[in-house]
Amino acid sequence: MDAHKREVHARVEFKRIRLHPPYLLEAQHILDVEREVGRATKGLEQSIVQITGPSHTGKSTIIKDYCERVSENEAPPPGRHPVLHVTLTSKSSVGSLGNDILKAMAGCALPATVVTDLVNMRPRERVSAVKRALPEIMHVATKALRNAGTELLVLDEAHHLSPSETAAVTNQNVTEAIKWIAIQGVCPVVCVGTKRLRGLLSADVNSQVANRTVESIHLDPIDFDDDKGFDTFCGYLDALDDKLVEHDIFPKKSDLIQEKWPDCFYDVSKGVIGRVSRLVEAAAVSAIRAGRSRIELQNLDVATRTWAMKTKVTDYNPWTEKGPRDVQDIRRKALNVE
């Protein structure tokens, strides 16, 4: 295989790599339990689950892997959505929440009768009519969820429910709509988002939503200075190294956990797992372009300079003679990751 085909193959296979670190398995166990409880209590009030953390800490991986597993193991027929993964529109409203749910099922965004009425109205009348139609959208969305056999509703990018300080009323209405879905007994609701979501769904903002939240999964950057965190981080690196061989990207392992390398990976990533994967992918491409059979030190140096530093993931290159910075200093920087 020539270098061009090797690079294309590597990029494709990186999208297919699936790792199962402890936090992912623990989170998916919680989703399994909530889904089974919801199935057994259909029609009764359902629970809300939070999955929060900075970008690239593994939130989307948890959901994507879970949806793939359900699809593979259960093979639901067309039109059935046992787990519905909905990505919320930026600056969400009650109306867009209902629309997003319907769009995720490939359904129409508004009931046909509402669309017809809106088309025939003058612009000023149309605005007030849309406001009156919003509750109807939610009724249609919940009916669609029931008809689709949805047992777990995942609202991704849920931090979009809190676009600004001036949107307090809208945010309250949307969180009330989420609570309403749970109260209607449709299915458990999983809200996924950045750390901002923790405040939005807290008792300070909506105590009734907080009271219905049974699990909160916080995916913060890994603490490298903690024994468990260190083991998790190194275990992830080693498992990723195995995948590079398993997916035929390289013929042999690159020994990503050799002396000082984990410290350097941590320095660049600040404990954010998704950044580790992107750094390894960039280093793999560098190695392939150089005709290497594994990732070497100079490839990680190139990847840090051409990807991590240019995208401002980091302002320091630890793969030089100066080496990685003090772990405590890196950890302080990690606390500010959003």
Question: 250 with 86: CB under 8 angstroms?
Answer: no
Asked whether residue 16 is assigned to any structural domain, the reply reads no
Question: 141 with 98: CB under 8 angstroms?
Answer: yes
Classify 189 as helix, strand or coil: strand
Same domain, 28 and 172: yes
Same domain, 227 and 214: no
Classify 221 as helix, strand or coil: coil
12 half-sphere exposure, CB direction, 13 A CA radius: 8
Asked whether residue 66 is assigned to any structural domain, the reply reads yes
How far, in whole angstroms, is CA 209 from its chain's centroid?
A: 21
Same domain, 204 and 270: no
88 or 111: which carries more pLDDT confidence?
88
At 76, the amino acid letter reads P
Same domain, 211 and 319: no
CA quadruple 188, 89, 63, 225: dihedral sign? negative
Asked whether residue 9 is assigned to any structural domain, the reply reads no
Whole-number Cα distances in Å, 328 to 227, 259, 333: 14, 19, 9
Q: Average pLDDT of 198-213?
A: 69
Q: Residue 255: give the domain boundaries.
A: 223-334
Q: What is the pTM of this model?
A: 0.77
Dist CA 332 CA 35 (whole Å): 37
Q: Name the band, by pLDDT with cuts 50, 70 and 90, for residue 183.
A: confident
- Greatest CA separation for the chain: 71
Between 114-128, 189-203, 230-244, 302-316, the lowest mean confidence (pLDDT) is in 114-128
Asked whether residue 179 is assigned to any structural domain, the reply reads yes
Question: 301 with 267: CB under 8 angstroms?
Answer: no
Question: 84 with 101: CB under 8 angstroms?
Answer: yes
Structurally, the chain folds into a number of domains equal to: 2
What is the CATH number for 115?
3.40.50.300
Same domain, 57 and 184: yes
Q: Which of 193, 218, 243 is the last residue of a domain?
A: 218
Return all residues near 137 (Cβ < 8 A) that are at least 6 apart: 94, 95, 98, 99, 102, 110, 111
DSSP state at residue 225? T
Q: 255-272, pLDDT tens digit by residue?
A: 999 988 999 999 999 989
Same domain, 146 and 59: yes
Q: Which of 218, 236, 254 is the last residue of a domain?
A: 218
Q: Name the band, by pLDDT with cuts 50, 70 and 90, for residue 168.
A: very low
Asked whether residue 7 is assigned to any structural domain, the reply reads no
Percent of the chain beyond pLDDT 70? 81
Between 18-27, 201-210, 234-243, 318-327, the lowest mean confidence (pLDDT) is in 201-210
Classify 8 as helix, strand or coil: helix
Asked whether residue 6 is assigned to any structural domain, the reply reads no
Q: 35-71, pLDDT tens digit by residue?
A: 999 999 988 999 989 898 888 888 888 998 999 999 9
How far, in whole angstroms, is CA 21 from its chain's centroid?
A: 15
Question: Would strands 213-218 and 152-156 be described as parallel, antiparallel, or unpaired?
Answer: unpaired
Same domain, 151 and 251: no
Q: How many other CB atoms sit within 10 Å of the CB of residue 127?
A: 11
Average pLDDT of the chain?
83
Same domain, 315 and 328: yes
Dist CA 86 CA 157 (whole Å): 9
Same domain, 276 and 152: no
Same domain, 82 and 196: yes
Q: Average pLDDT of 142-160?
A: 89
Using alpha carbons, select from 206, 203, 201, 231 the residue that is nearest to residue 218: 201
Q: Which of 170, 192, 218 is the last residue of a domain?
A: 218
Q: 92-129, pLDDT tens digit by residue?
A: 777 778 888 888 887 555 555 655 565 566 655 655 65
Same domain, 53 and 181: yes
Asked whether residue 5 is assigned to any structural domain, the reply reads no
Same domain, 184 and 208: yes
Asked whether residue 3 is assigned to any structural domain, the reply reads no
